[in-house]
Amino acid sequence: MEIKVLGVGCPRCHQLLMEVINALAELDLTAGVDMVEDRQVISSCNVKSLPAIVIDGKVKTEGKVPERKEIKKLILEECKLK
């Protein structure tokens, strides 16, 4: 599983990155997690607002920092699709 947190380096973007990392730890799952700040890469993901979470190429959230329980739900849903 590959998870990307898209953002421009603002505090909310870094908060979202930490929430994703903590959610994975609580679920006892491993995944590649990257913070993407390159505007060209962000544009190619077709997100309308930041920060955003992209899991395995699919935009899952944008424009907010969801609660950790919601992030865990998104991760688990993606695991079930595989």
- CATH of residue 40: 3.40.30.10
Q: How far is CA 80 from CA 2, 17, 77, in A?
A: 14, 22, 5
Q: Are 4 and 53 in contact (CB under 8 A)?
A: yes
Listed residue (60, 64, 75, 59) closest to 25, CA to CA = 75
Predicted local confidence at residue 80, as pLDDT: 80
Predicted local confidence at residue 75, as pLDDT: 96
Predicted local confidence at residue 82, as pLDDT: 61
Tell me the average confidence (pLDDT) per consecutive run of 10 residues in the chain, 82 residues long.
95 97 96 96 93 96 97 93 66
Domain count, the chain: 1
Domain that holds residue 10: 2-80
